[in-house]
Amino acid sequence: MIYSRGDPVATESGSDAHQNLARLRIAFGDVAPYKTTIYNKFAEFKRGRVNLSDKFLDDRPSTVVNNKNIDAVRRMMETDRHVTYHEIRTFLGTSMSQI
């Protein structure tokens, strides 16, 4: 359930994304989420997700982004402008999604 000023605006069940998009646009006007955002969230509801927090979308561990790794990659790129993702990934020991 999504609320605006205490009144229900949208729900993840019982109606479709199109109906809720219209209700969100009435409630929030120009600051309503984009259509694709609404449809993606409802697809997540259908897959069983119940938490709308975006904090779970970032798969990068905080240990990967640190000054030591940033400096190391910077030096690699200054030494060889054509360094590949594979070389960086191998050097850091991380997966491709973490670069």
Residues above pLDDT 90, as percent of the chain: 9
Region 22-45: mean pLDDT is 82
Asked if residue 72 and residue 43 are part of one domain, the reply reads no
Evaluate whether 92 touches 64 at the Cβ level (below 8 Å): yes
Residue 52 gets which letter from DSSP?
-
Q: CB-based contacts of 2: which residues, under 8 Å, 6+ apart?
A: 8, 9, 10, 11, 20, 24
Asked if residue 36 and residue 79 are part of one domain, the reply reads no
Would residue 94 count as lying in a domain? Answer: yes
Which residues constitute the domain of residue 92? 67-98
**Of 41 and 68, more confident:** 68
Asked if residue 72 and residue 35 are part of one domain, the reply reads no
Would residue 43 count as lying in a domain? Answer: yes
Q: What is the pTM of this model?
A: 0.37
Asked if residue 46 and residue 12 are part of one domain, the reply reads yes
